[in-house]
A and B are shown apart, each in its own frame.
Chain A
Amino acid sequence: KKPVIDPKLADYRGVWVFVEQEEGVVHPVSWELLGRARILATSLGVEVAAVVFGANDETVDKITGQAISYGAEKVYQVVDPALCDYRSDPYTDCLVNLVKKYKPEILLLGATSLSRDLASSVATILETGLTADCTELTIDVENRSLEATRPTFGGSLLCTILTLNYRPQMATARPGVLPIPLPEPDRKGVIIREPMRIDEEKLITKVLGFIPDPCKVAERLSTAEIVVGGGRGIKQPGHFSLLRELADLLGGEVGGTRPVVQAGWLDTERQIGQTGKTIRPKVYIAVGISGAIQHRVGIEKAGMIVAINNDPNAPIFDYADLGIVGDFLEIIPALIRVLKKKRAA
């Protein structure tokens, strides 16, 4: 049956993306979302807008320029010293106020720790629906509704969730799943600087400091062109040095499955899959990995998947492009030798 849309929802127009930044560095999921937002906005015949918060003009203007080049036609800015580090209260207040004033029909954020905190807070105050951790976002043009698709039951099924009678329709998207659009530096956009009165005295929570992750593992893994993944078939933590050597030769990174992370063989940040990272390298080499659905959902977007496993019936071979049946202790050293020979040639 066709749902009846409340006429007062018709006031809500436009697709918004909250651009997430920490210390002036934008999380790439924001650009991934702007790319998709443009497609959604085109099918709805509306504008794409970005929302940028920050402590000073310099940061906010720089990010605004980037947002426009990635497809924002309008940018709503809020600049205030209180917005320096992420804090739930002032960020929520600012975003709620903007939404109430300008009424977007769709509001998208990244499924990161920062934006999940913000999105849930905003959706609760606005009393609207929020679909979490989406891997696909499309529009049902007939009733102008957002179809937000997310994996369920560990990725074995997908389900599409709608927010029919509430606006804005909100969703968070899993980083690394949607492609980043090509930036076009010549694009022009309208900038709206929204004054907000934030009283620092009234804010209860204070950020006293920030300890940056020195190795930026998450960032490196998500942008790596080659990723070598290790699973329980590696047998010993020491064997990861082989995978690291292979990855280094190819200028890539090492990741792995949940069991090896839980065994403490690999950093938590390097877990790939449903409860870890989604990666989109050109080549993913799965070594000693059985191919459980919870792992596969994190590697689906790879350009090519190579599986190395000594069990010819391992499920991973049904989901890979190229497969080698063999003991990784024979295959990986041979692969390293071949690559070294190529490099020397």
Chain B
Amino acid sequence: MHAVILVKQVPDSSQIRVHPQTGTIMRQGVPAILNPYDVYALEEALQLKDKYGAFLTALSMGPLQAENALRKALSYGVDEAFLLSDRSFAGSDTLATSYALAAALRKIDSYRKIDIVFTGKQTIDGDTGQVGPGVARRLGFQLLSYVLEIKHIDFEKKTILVHRKSERGIQIVASKIPCLITVFERKRPIRYASLPNMIRAARAPVKIWNRVDAGIEELSKIGLKGSPTVVGKVFAPQNSRGPAERLEGRSPEEICSLLVEKIFEKFPEVEKKLS
């Protein structure tokens, strides 16, 4: 049993500030973190290790610093980590990213057959949720997106039963391995990294692959060339309201009467609904 978790290093967007005058992003000093949604994917994979002794591989594509995200994955108990890093990947959109990741996954699969690929629901920077489905299509794996829970796996019969989130409820789905699972966020957070795993993570080598190592020959499919989407202009959103008119009065009742009057004046239908 072999599962691969795709992880991405992202800027901690809670710490990104926009310059008030120029409207540009101030990235300096913004720490890079393991994409929070990938942590749920890691936990899901770690449970397969607990239950079935699965071998876990983490794979990331990004600049050399992304090694930190992989080390984090190792500290939780992942067995092996690969970083796909090459200048020619720069500027990849989701189509080009899924192409490169799928190529690396095929290479990994040739050494050790992959049963399940896990991804996060989305990242907090690109935030598209498109990479997981793209990779599944390219590998020809069954795509199980927005999975809430893996209910059952039978490795003999290669069957898997999951609950997945849909807009109007929960779908109960039976499928087959190999599959790609995008993991919906959970209530329970990830386990703590154990001390032995943390020590191992600090020492364990992260294998770094360039384009050729990953077996990618077609340059037209990666980087800017392989990316159909083009970023046009970037601009600050307008603020069409505010500053707010402050309502004042001698008592909370007086202030609230004023508020209710203003609401009903603008939306008389709201008054009619008062129940």
Contact = CB atoms under 8 A, between A and B. Distances in A.
A337 B252 CA distance: 10
Interface in B235-269: 235-237, 239-247, 251-253, 255-257, 259-260, 262-263, 266-267, 269
A163 B13 CA distance: 26
Contacts of A114: 166-167
Contact of B173 (A25, A206, A333): A206
B259 A130 contact: no
Interface in B114-162: 124-134, 136-138, 142-146, 161
A5 interface: no
Given A113-B146, A204-B176, A325-B246, A131 B18 contact: no
A300 to B, nearest CB: 8
B43 interface: no
Contacts of B124: 154, 275
Given A22-B168, A207-B173, A322 B273 contact: no
A190 B133 CA distance: 33
A93 to B, nearest CB: 11
If over half of A's interface residues share one DSSP class (helix, strand or loop), that class is named, otherwise mixed; here it is: mixed
A204 B266 CA distance: 55
Interface string B80-110: 0000000000000111001000000000000
**B contacts with A: majority SS:** mixed
B212 interface: no
A339 B172 contact: no
A159 B98 CA distance: 22
A219 B145 CA distance: 21
Interface string A198-215: 000000111111111100
Contacts, number: 278
Contacts of B232: 147, 159-162
B211 to A, nearest CB: 19
B169 interface: yes
B270 to A, nearest CB: 6
A4 interface: no
Contacts of B176: 204-205
Interface residues of B, number: 84
B274 A342 contact: yes
B234 A305 contact: no
A191 interface: no
Contact of A123 (B95, B161, B270): B95
A53 interface: no
Interface in A202-237: 204-213, 216, 218-219, 225-226
B21 interface: no
A326 interface: yes
Interface stretch (B54-62, B63-71, B191-199, B223-231): B223-231
A319 interface: yes
A166 B267 contact: no
A160 B127 CA distance: 15
B228 to A, nearest CB: 3
B129 A116 contact: yes
Contacts of A153: 13, 16, 18, 25, 125
A303 B95 contact: no
A132 interface: yes
B190 interface: no
Nearest to B137: A124
Contact of A158 (B137, B144, B237): B237
A133 B187 CA distance: 24
B253 A338 contact: yes
Interface of B: 13-14, 16-18, 23, 25, 93-95, 98, 124-134, 136-138, 142-146, 161, 163, 165-176, 185, 187, 227-237, 239-247, 251-253, 255-257, 259-260, 262-263, 266-267, 269-271, 273-275
Top 7 nearest A-B pairs by Cβ distance?
A129-B228, A323-B244, A334-B252, A120-B133, A132-B128, A129-B229, A320-B244
